[in-house]
Structures are given as structure tokens and as C-alpha cells.
């Protein structure tokens, strides 16, 4: 029953009504006959507490729904003889009263209990509160400890030994080692004798935070008092050294444990040491200790195997990780949720999302319930693969199975939406996040701001940036870098510079990446002076560690053929004590080539050698390109031979430059031979190669020179078929890259039907090119030819493949705009079926939201909702 009464007088009136109609109450009531309404409420509630199963009494729930701490303390005072009832009522009223629900009101109630002199009740309540906070978060524990300080200062109230001991354990559990030490000192000053279990707890707490020196001092005191060194203390030290990656010290402790009979290493000790060795990449030693466990009669646990499996997954050794899983199961050691999560995460990082999904299904079949971390790992895998539909199905499954999504779940999904170009949908997903009672964190905002900036939606990005301050979330370097980068890409380096100033005023440390981004932005709009100013700022702040920022400036000068200025910047690099890199010299070579100074570029290569910076393939490739552009192909060939004689092999860029040079100079046969050499060396052909060859065929057939941009306008289907045939004959393994190139160019020239025919031919040959299908669908949708899109999607599905989410989305949105809602709905169901979605009903709401058009204005509704996130009133019970 929901009761929305705000007035205390109405609450009392309701209480009087309940009491007047309750025979049970009159039978147990000990209330005086003459009482004011304010006195009546505590007596009434206290009377109901004498009934069995009072926690389920609906009348009592109604009475306390808005009870304030003052009245609650009076109820407890009336029950002070029954400590158990007092503690139970304290916890119960905090959960059922909108006034006592907040942590601040809870501590206020505790203060009222102490002020009333009910110390025994207070100590028992504190024990319960400490245990409750230890399972929650650090913030609540700190708030509770602040309350203890206030009780001590105002009322002279001190914790008893059970409270101190419990507090130490909770602080250790929350990894608050320093606070555990402070608590120990206060405990001693209060005259309590610290027991063996407390010393163990303090050592453990210090070690968890890496305070191993302090922990060793405690251990010495521990032994000096007369306690015997045991495996618990030694294992804590082992943990401390391993967490600090002091593996040599950890091995010494382990050696002592192995020699001392009273503290022999157990499964936990071995697991901690193995984990430490894995963290520093010493896998062979880690596996050696795993094998040693059996010899010592201490068999590897689930944690031991899981640590090793994670180490193998982190190295990309997925097959070995599964072999270890098989060994684990064969030895009767059952994998847990964490083991499966590690494997799922490893497979997702390796791009094997379907295999990860298979492991997930096996996990459920084995009766192991996935945790929120497991779901997050698989959701992240799908989102990185651009498959947001299966990712959202997992969200629906989580909600159905009562596994509450956390902030990271929504962050992964929002990032996934941004990856497929749907940042507005990601902003709307924040609404769902808030509805679930979760507060967006800095990662949430960074994901959204970065996604919006990438798509050019700067207005919404600015609004989200302003909202962060409302939630005590300070934008960090990543936040501002995303905005600065987007502004620079849109030619607004001056606005980006203002954001840099704001960033510095807020005390956010500027890094080299952000500074270089802004320098690049000013360079792109030709504002050399401002770029130089930013560069000098980076120098003054001593942020520059590499010549990368200077290289960006050099590149701009190079493209403007400003050789003198380039040489001046080189002098500045040397003056700053930065060592010029290969990129620095390569940029200078490029500048000289652009200005037509071939001999100067050769001299720069020699200077490069003299300075001890050996040239790689790129300076030579730039000179070869320059020679080819000047028609000096024979000289380019000689330089190529000289480069190879010096032990530098040509790469794909070199071959690309040569192919273009040969075609430009009418030597198609040499170009084809170069491509053949390129394929034999294992290099993949690229768009520039295809474009040059196609141009070469047009030149050889029609005798006309054409640019790369107009190649396909002058190309007939025979020429295209000849190019495809030639590429197939070269035996480069796959013509996928060529097909995508041709589809892109044909669609750009308005020849979408030809590109569609090409893709259908590849489908018949058992090859699915998702990117090519996306391009064709986009082209047809722009011409409102949605029937053609449906035919292509049907063909793809019949061929056993699944079109991308992007393609489905474009066609569905197009059909809706045309008013063909029936076909749109059918395609939505096809999308769910083709993605293997089982929970179609649960998923439908998500998919329909995702399929809506993106014309959502400035997302003001969602932003307003988020703006109210921390301004909510008390909950209604």
C-alpha cells in the first residue's frame, strides 16, 4: 500500500485511527490515559513491537513510513530493556521511514540514542552498522567513522572492544589500511589490549594497501609480545609484497614459510605468489609453483587455476588457457563464475565474440550464474564488434534474471552505440541508467562527449560538460581532449585554445597528446604563430618528452615548402635537448622534395646517418616518389636497388609509389610486375594500387590521361572485369579489398546497380563483404530505393550471413519515413531473428528505440532528467 502523506499531524491522525480500531493494541497498550499526540505515537509503535512478527505488520509500516529520528529514538527508549528489539527496530525503521532512510538521518538517530544514555543499545547498533558498511562502499564507512568522532567529541562516547575489533576487520576488507592503523592507535589509547586476531587484521590491512614496512614492524611487535608467527600473518606479507610487485621480497617470505613448520604455505599463499609472478610476466615460474603444490600436498584451488588462465588470456594464449581449463576440470577443481568471466573476456579481446558467447552458454548450462562482470565482458565484446543488438539482448536477459546492471554495463552499451554512430541514442540510454537508480560517472560522460564530438554534435557535448559540475564530477584531461580534438578537426582551433585555457585554470594537467592536438589544429588552418605559442607553452611546462609536437609543426611547414623555417625548427629541437627522430628527418626530406630540391633531400639522408639516426624505408620512399613525379623513373629504380643493398626492404608504401609512378609514365607492364613482387612478398594491395591500375587500363585502352577521382567515369565494365581477373591471377588470396574499392567508387559515381551486381556475384562465390553491403544500402536509401535494399538484405540472409546493424537501421528508418510501417516492423523482427535473439519481447522496446530517427534536437528532455538526478526528494514508501 502506497501512502503519500507528508504532514506529521496527518500521520498522528492516522495513528489514532489505527489504534482506535485495533483490539490487539488495546489489549497490550500500557499508554497513560492522558497523553498528548506527540507522546502517543512512540507509545503506540512500542506497543506494536511486542507482537510476534511485528516487522510484517502493515499498520506499523504505515505508522513509521514518515517517522523522524527523534520519534524513532523515543520508541527505542521505551524498549531499552530488550536490546535485541531495539537493534532490530533501529535497522527496520531506517529501511521503512523516508526520514530515517538517508545515511545522515541514520547517524542522527544513533546520536539521539547515545544522548539518551542508551550505550549498550548504541554499541550493538554500531556493530550492525559496521558490518553493513563493510559490504557496501568506502564512502559510507568514512561517513560512519566521522559520526564516531562526533559522538566522542560531543558526548564522550567511546567504542567498546567488539566495536573496535569489528571496525578493524571491516577496514581491512575495504582496503583502508591507513585508517585501520589510526583505529588501532585509538584503540590502544582507550586502554584496550589488542588481541592476536586484531594484530592479524592490522597486518593484513596494511599489506593490502602496500604498507609492507609498517606491516613488518607490526609483525615484529606481534612476535615480541609472545604470539607465534603463523601462515595468516606470512600470507598477508606475501600479499603486500606481491601487490607492490616486490617479487624478490615475496619469494623470501615464501622461503621462510616453507622452512618454518608453524606457517607452512597453503593454497592461498601459493595462489598469491603465482598471481604476483604472473603480474610481472614470469609465467614459467608461476607454472612451476603450481606444479610444486601437488608435491607439497597442497593442491591448486579454483583461484590458482583462474589466476593462471587469466595470465594466459592476457598474453593472447587462448588455446593454452582452455587446455588449462581442461586440466582443472580433470583434477576435480570446478571453475567458478570468475574463471568463465576471464575466458569470456579473453575471447572478446581476441575478437572471438561468438566463441565467448558459447562459453557463456556452457556456463549457464553448468549451473553457474553469470555475475554482472561476466555480462559486462560479453557486452563489451559485442559492442567493440559493432553488434549492439546482441549486446542489448544481454541487458534484457540481465534484467529478466534479476542481475542488476551497473554503471559499467551502461557505459559499455553507450560506447557501443557511439561506435556505430548513434551518440544521441547513447544519451537516451543514460535515461535508462538513471531510471535504474545509477549515477553516471566520469567514464559515462567521457564516452558520451567523445561520441558526440566525433559526430560533430558539439552543442549537446557542451551541455553534458556543464552538467558534470552539477554532480561534483570534474572533467578530466580525456574530457577536454575529446572536445579540443573535435574543434580542431572542424577548423575551430581558436575555440579549442579557449578550452585549453579553461582546462589549465581548473588545474587539470596538460599532457603532450592534448597539446599536440591543438598544435595540429592551428597548423591545419595555417596559424603558425599560434601553433608556435602552444609549442613554447609545452616547453615551459616541461611536458615535451618527444619531438612529436615539433614534427607536427614541421609537417605543416613541409607542405607549405617552407624549407628555411623547417631548418629553424630543427635547430629548436636540438636547442631544447630533444633528439630528432626518424619522423623529424623524414618530414624534412619531404619538405625538400616538395620544393623540388632532390639533391638537398639526399644530403638530408646523409646528415641523418651522421647524426646516428639511421634512415628507414620512409625517407627513401619519399625521394622515390619525388623522382617518379618528375618522370625520373630510372633514377627511382636505382635508388630502390641502393636501398635494398643497404639492407632496407621496400614496404607497401614503396610499392604503391612505384606502381603509381609507372602508370603515370605509361609503363603499365612494369606496374603489374611491381604488384606481382608486392604480392609475392606478402603485402596486401590497397585502394591506391587499385586506382592506379584502373587508370593504367583506361590509359592503355583509350589513350587518355585521367585523374584518380574521375577514373570510374571513364571506365567501362570490361575494364573493371580485366582488373578483377588480373588481381585473381596474381594469387593475392582475396579480392575483397578490390571489390570494396570498386563498390565505393561505383556508388560515388551513381552506378549503384553495378556495385550491387558485383556484391551479389561475391555472395554466390561464398564471400560476404559487410562494408560493401553497407555502402550499397546507404546509396540506395539516399535515392529512396528501399525495395532494392530489402532484396539485397534478403539475399545476404539467404546466403547464411547477417547484414550489419547499420544497414538494418538505415532501411527500417527509411521505410518508416515512407510510411511503410508494416515492412519496417517485419524487418525489425528479421533483425532480431538473424542476430539469434531469443528474448524478442524484452528486446522489442530497445530495438524500436534504437530504430527511431536521430533527429532528436538537443536531447533537452534527457539532459533535464539527468540534471534532476541528484535533486530527488525522499523516497515514497
Span 795-801, average pLDDT: 91
Q: Cβ neighbours of residue 298 under 8 Å, at least 6 residues apart?
A: 265, 266, 267, 270
Q: How far is CA 41 from the centre of its chain?
A: 51
- Flag whether 540 is in a domain: no
- Flag whether 618 is in a domain: yes
Q: How far apart are CA 877 and CA 120, in angstroms?
A: 30
Q: How far apart are CA 471 and CA 622, in angstroms?
A: 52
- Flag whether 562 is in a domain: yes
How confident is the model over 29-48, as pLDDT tens digits? Answer: 333 434 444 456 788 888 88
Please answer whether residues 12 and 41 qualify as being in contact, where contact means their C-beta atoms are separated by less than 8 angstroms.
yes
Give the domain-ending residue among 158, 179, 196.
158
Q: How far apart are CA 235 and CA 273, in angstroms?
A: 9
Residue 825 CB: number of other CB atoms within 10 A? 16
CA angle 425, 429, 432 (to 5 degrees): 150
How confident is the model over 732-758, as pLDDT tens digits? Answer: 666 788 899 999 989 988 889 999 999
Band of pLDDT at residue 136, cut at 50, 70 and 90? low
- Flag whether 81 is in a domain: yes
Angstrom distances, CA of residue 431 to CA of 160, 372, 413, 425, 862: 46, 20, 13, 10, 6
What is the average pLDDT score of the chain? 82
Give the domain-ending residue among 100, 125, 158.
158
Q: Cβ neighbours of residue 497 under 8 Å, at least 6 residues apart?
A: 518, 522, 530, 534
Domain limits for position 122: 1-158
Grid cell digits, residue 60: 506499523
Please answer whether residues 465 and 444 qualify as being in contact, where contact means their C-beta atoms are separated by less than 8 angstroms.
no
Q: Cβ neighbours of residue 231 under 8 Å, at least 6 residues apart?
A: 257, 262, 263, 264, 265, 266, 269
Question: Where are the alpha helices (H) located in 471-596, listed in sequence order?
Answer: 477-489, 493-505, 512-524, 528-540, 548-559, 563-575, 582-594
pLDDT number for residue 779:
93
How confident is the model over 407-420, as pLDDT tens digits? Answer: 999 999 999 999 88
Grid cell digits, residue 685: 594491395
pTM exceeds 0.85 for this model = no
Q: Cβ neighbours of residue 205 under 8 Å, at least 6 residues apart?
A: 168, 171, 172, 175, 176, 177, 180, 181
The structural domain count of the chain equals 2
For CA atoms 531, 532, 536, 538, give the dihedral sign.
Answer: positive
In this predicted structure, the answer to whether residue 339 has a pLDDT above a threshold of 90 is yes
In this predicted structure, the answer to whether residue 562 has a pLDDT above a threshold of 90 is no
Residue 820 CA neighbour count, 13 Å, CB half: 16
- Give the 3-state secondary structure of 388-419: HHHHHHHHHHHHHCCCCCCHHHHHHHHHHHHH
How confident is the model over 73-103, as pLDDT tens digits? Answer: 998 898 888 888 998 888 888 888 877 777 7
Q: Give me the CATH number covering residue 591.
A: 1.25.40.10
Give the domain-ending residue among 102, 134, 158.
158
Angstrom distances, CA of residue 298 to CA of 301, 348, 538, 753, 861: 9, 33, 57, 69, 60
Q: Which of 578-582, 586-590, 736-740 has the lowest mean pLDDT?
A: 578-582
- Flag whether 335 is in a domain: no
Please answer whether residues 58 and 91 qualify as being in contact, where contact means their C-beta atoms are separated by less than 8 angstroms.
no
pLDDT number for residue 786:
92
Q: How far apart are CA 180 and CA 134, in angstroms?
A: 13
Q: Cβ neighbours of residue 155 under 8 Å, at least 6 residues apart?
A: 111, 114, 115
In this predicted structure, the answer to whether residue 279 has a pLDDT above a threshold of 50 is yes
Q: How far apart are CA 65 and CA 745, in angstroms?
A: 69
- Flag whether 429 is in a domain: no
Instruction: Annotate 786-828 with DSSP letters as a single string.
Output: HHHHHHHHHHHHHTT----HHHHHHHHHHHHHTT-HHHHHHHH
Q: Which residue has the cell 607497401?
A: 652
Residue 662's SS3 state is helix
Q: How far apart are CA 743 and CA 745, in angstroms?
A: 6
Q: How far apart are CA 74 and CA 31, in angstroms?
A: 14
Distance separating the N- and C-terminal Cα atoms of the chain? 8
Q: How far apart are CA 352 and CA 319, in angstroms?
A: 12
In this predicted structure, the answer to whether residue 24 has a pLDDT above a threshold of 50 is no
Q: How far apart are CA 870 and CA 852, in angstroms?
A: 29
Span 687-712, average pLDDT: 70
- Flag whether 262 is in a domain: no
- Top-confidence residue, 311 or 218: 311
Please answer whether residues 26 and 32 qualify as being in contact, where contact means their C-beta atoms are separated by less than 8 angstroms.
no
- Flag whether 486 is in a domain: no
In this predicted structure, the answer to whether residue 430 has a pLDDT above a threshold of 70 is yes
Q: Which residue has the cell 549492439?
A: 388
pLDDT number for residue 278:
92
Band of pLDDT at residue 376, cut at 50, 70 and 90? very high
Q: How far apart are CA 158 and CA 184, in angstroms?
A: 14
Grid cell digits, residue 833: 531473428
How confident is the model over 183-206, as pLDDT tens digits? Answer: 988 988 888 888 888 888 888 888
Q: How far apart are CA 719 and CA 698, in angstroms?
A: 7
Please answer whether residues 360 and 380 qualify as being in contact, where contact means their C-beta atoms are separated by less than 8 angstroms.
no
Q: How far apart are CA 30 and CA 53, in angstroms?
A: 20
Q: Which of 7-11, 259-263, 749-753, 784-788 has the lowest mean pLDDT?
A: 7-11
Nearest to 233 by CA among 259, 212, 209: 212
Band of pLDDT at residue 829, cut at 50, 70 and 90? confident
How confident is the model over 634-652, as pLDDT tens digits? Answer: 999 999 999 988 889 999 9
Amino acid at each position: 500500500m502506497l501512502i503519500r502523506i507528508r504532514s506529521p499531524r496527518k500521520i498522528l491522525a492516522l495513528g489514532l485511527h489505527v489504534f482506535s480500531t485495533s483490539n490487539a493494541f488495546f489489549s497490550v497498550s500500557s499508554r497513560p490515559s492522558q497523553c498528548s499526540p506527540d507522546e502517543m505515537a512512540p507509545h503506540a509503535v512500542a506497543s506494536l513491537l511486542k507482537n510476534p512478527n511485528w516487522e510484517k505488520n502493515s499498520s506499523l509500516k504505515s505508522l513509521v513510513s514518515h517517522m523522524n529520528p527523534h520519534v524513532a529514538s523515543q520508541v527505542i527508549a521505551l524498549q531499552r530493556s530488550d536490546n535485541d528489539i531495539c537493534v532490530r527496530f533501529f535497522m527496520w525503521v531506517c529501511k521503512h521511514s523516508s526520514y530515517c532512510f538517508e545515511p545522515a538521518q541514520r547517524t542522527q538517530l544513533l546520536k539521539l540514542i547515545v544522548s539518551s544514555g542508551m550505550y549498550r543499545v548504541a554499541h550493538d547498533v554500531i556493530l550492525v552498522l559496521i558490518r553493513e558498511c563493510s559490504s557496501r562502499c568506502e564512502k559510507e564507512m568514512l561517513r560512519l567513522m566521522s559520526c564516531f568522532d562526533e559522538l566522542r567529541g560531543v558526548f564522550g562516547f567511546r567504542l567498546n572492544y567488539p566495536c573496535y575489533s569489528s571496525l578493524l576487520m571491516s577496514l581491512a576488507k575495504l582496503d583502508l589500511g591507513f585508517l585501520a592503523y589510526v583505529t588501532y592507535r585509538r584503540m590502544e589509547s582507550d586502554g584496550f589490549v589488542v588481541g592476536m586476531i586484531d594484530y592479524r587484521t592490522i597486518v593484513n590491512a596494511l599489506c593490502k594497501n602496500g604498507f609492507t614496512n609498517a606491516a613488518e614492524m607490526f609483525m615484529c611487535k606481534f612476535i615480541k609480545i609472545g604470539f607465534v608467527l603463523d601462515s595468516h600473518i606470512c600470507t598477508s606479507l606475501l600479499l603486500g609484497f606481491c601487490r607492490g610487485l616486490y617479487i624478490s621480497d615475496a619469494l623470501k617470505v615464501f622461503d621462510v614459510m616453507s622452512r618454518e613448520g608453524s606457517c607452512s604455505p597453503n593454497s592461498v599463499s601459493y595462489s598469491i605468489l603465482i598471481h604476483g609472478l604472473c603480474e610481472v610476466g614470469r609465467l614459467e615460474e608461476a607454472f612451476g609453483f603450481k606444479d610444486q603444490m601437488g608435491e607439497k600436498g597442497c593442491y591448486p584451488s579454483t583461484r590458482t587455476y583462474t589466476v593462471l588462465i587469466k595470465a594466459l588470456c592476457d598474453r593472447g594464449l587462448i588455446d593454452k588457457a582452455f587446455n588449462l581449463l581442461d586440466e582443472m576440470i580433470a583434477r576435480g577443481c570446478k571453475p567458478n563464475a570468475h574463471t568463465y568471466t576471464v575466458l569470456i573476456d579473453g575471447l572478446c579481446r581476441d575478437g572471438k565474440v561468438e566463441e565467448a558467447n558459447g562459453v557463456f552458454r556452457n556456463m549457464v548450462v553448468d549451473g553457474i550464474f553469470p555475475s554482472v562482470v561476466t555480462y559486462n565482458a560479453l557486452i563489451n565484446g559485442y559492442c567493440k564488434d559493432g553488434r549492439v543488438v546482441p549486446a542489448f539482448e544481454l541487458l534484457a536477459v540481465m534484467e529478466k534474471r534479476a542481475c542488476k546492471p551497473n554503471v559499467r554495463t551502461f557505459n559499455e552499451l553507450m560506447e557501443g552505440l557511439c561506435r556505430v554512430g548513434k551518440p544521441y541514442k547513447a544519451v537516451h540510454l543514460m535515461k535508462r541508467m538513471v531510471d535504474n537508480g545509477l549515477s553516471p560517472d566520469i567514464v559515462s560522460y567521457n564516452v558520451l562527449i567523445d561520441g558526440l564530438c566525433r559526430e560533430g554534435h558539439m552543442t549537446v557535448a557542451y551541455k553534458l560538460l556543464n552538467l558534470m559540475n552539477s554532480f561534483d564530477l570534474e572533467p578530466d584531461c580525456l574530457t577536454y581532449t575529446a572536445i579540443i580534438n573535435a574543434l580542431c578537426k572542424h577548423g575551430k582551433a581558436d575555440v579549442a585554445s579557449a578550452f585549453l585555457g579553461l582546462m589549465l585554470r581548473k588545474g587539470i594537467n596538460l599532457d603532450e597528446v592534448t597539446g599536440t592536438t591543438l598544435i595540429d589544429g592551428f597548423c591545419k588552418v595555417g596559424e603558425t604563430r599560434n601553433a608556435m605559442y602552444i609549442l613554447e607553452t609545452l616547453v615551459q611546462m616541461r611536458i615535451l618528452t618527444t619531438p612529436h609536437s615539433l614534427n607536427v609543426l614541421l609537417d605543416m611547414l613541409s607542405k607549405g615548402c617552407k624549407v628555411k623555417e623547417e631548418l629553424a625548427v630543427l635547430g629548436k629541437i636540438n636547442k631544447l635537448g630533444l633528439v630528432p627522430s626518424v619522423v623529424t628527418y623524414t618530414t624534412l626530406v619531404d619538405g625538400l622534395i616538395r620544393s623540388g630540391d632532390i639533391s638537398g633531400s639526399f644530403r638530408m639522408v646523409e646528415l641523418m646517418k651522421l647524426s646516428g639516426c639511421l634512415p628507414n624505408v620512409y625517407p627513401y620512399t619519399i625521394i622515390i616518389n619525388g623522382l617518379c613525379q618528375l618522370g625520373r623513373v630510372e633514377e627511382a629504380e636505382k635508388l630502390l636497388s641502393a636501398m635494398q643493398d643497404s639492407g632496407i626492404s621496400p614496404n607497401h608504401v614503396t610499392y604503391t609509389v612505384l606502381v603509381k609512378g609507372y602508370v603515370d609514365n605509361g609503363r603499365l607492364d612494369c606496374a603489374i610486375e611491381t604488384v606481382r613482387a608486392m604480392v609475392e612478398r606478402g603485402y596486401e594491395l590497397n585502394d591506391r594500387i587499385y586506382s592506379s591500375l584502373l587508370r593504367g587500363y583506361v590509359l592503355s585502352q583509350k589513350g587518355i590521361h585521367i585523374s584518380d577521382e574521375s577514373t570510374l567515369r571513364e571506365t567501362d565494365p570490361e575494364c573493371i572485369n580485366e582488373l578483377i581477373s588480373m588481381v585473381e591471377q596474381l594469387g593475392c588470396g582475396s579480392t575483397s579489398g578490390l571489390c570494396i574499392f570498386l563498390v565505393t567508387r561505383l556508388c560515388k559515381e551513381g552506378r549503384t546497380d553495378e556495385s550491387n551486381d558485383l556484391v551479389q556475384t561475391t555472395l554466390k562465390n561464398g564471400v560476404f563483404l559487410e562494408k560493401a553491403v553497407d555502402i550499397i544500402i546507404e546509396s540506395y536509401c539516399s535515392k529512396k530505393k528501399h525495395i532494392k535494399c530489402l532484396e539485397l538484405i534478403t539475399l545476404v540472409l539467404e546466403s547464411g550471413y547477417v547484414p550489419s546493424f547499420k544497414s538494418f537501421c538505415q532501411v527500417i528508418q527509411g521505410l518508416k519515413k515512407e510510411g511503410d510501417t508494416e515492412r519496417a516492423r517485419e524487418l525489425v523482427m528479421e533483425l532480431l531473428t538473424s542476430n539469434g535473439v531469443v528474448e524478442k519481447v524484452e528486446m522489442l522496446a530497445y530495438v524500436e528505440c534504437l530504430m527511431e530517427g536521430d533527429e532528436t534536437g538537443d536531447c533537452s528532455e534527457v539532459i533535464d532528467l539527468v540534471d534532476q538526478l541528484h535533486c530527488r526528494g525522499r523516497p515514497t514508501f
